[in-house]
Structure 1
Amino acid sequence: MHHAKPATPAAPIPENPGFLRGLAWLAIAGCAIFTAALLIGDVVVPDHDWIADTISDLGAGEYEWIADIGIYGFSLGLIALAAAASHAHLGGKGWTLGVYGLLVTGLIVFLVGARNEYGDADQDGTVIHIYLVYALGVTFAVMPWAMSEGAARMGDRYGWACKAATVLWVVMAPIFFFLPTDIDGLYERVLGGVTFIFVIAVALALLKRARAVSAFGTG
Structure 2
Amino acid sequence: MPAHAPSLPTLGGKKSSYRERVADALRAALIAGELRTGEVYSAPALAARFGVSATPVREAMLDLAKEGLVDAVPNKGFRVTAVSERQLDEYTHIRALVEIPTTAALARTADPVALRALRPVAQEIVTAAAAGDLIAYVEADTRFHLGLLALAGNAHLVEVVRDLRGRARLYGLTKLVEEGRLRASAEEHLELLDALLARDEDAVRAVMTRHLGHVRGLWAAPGPDGGGHS
Higher RCO (Cα < 8 Å, 6 or more apart): 1
TM-score, scaled relative to structure 2? 0.29
Q: Which has the larger radius of gyration?
A: 1
Name the structure where strand makes up a greater proportion of residues. Answer: 2
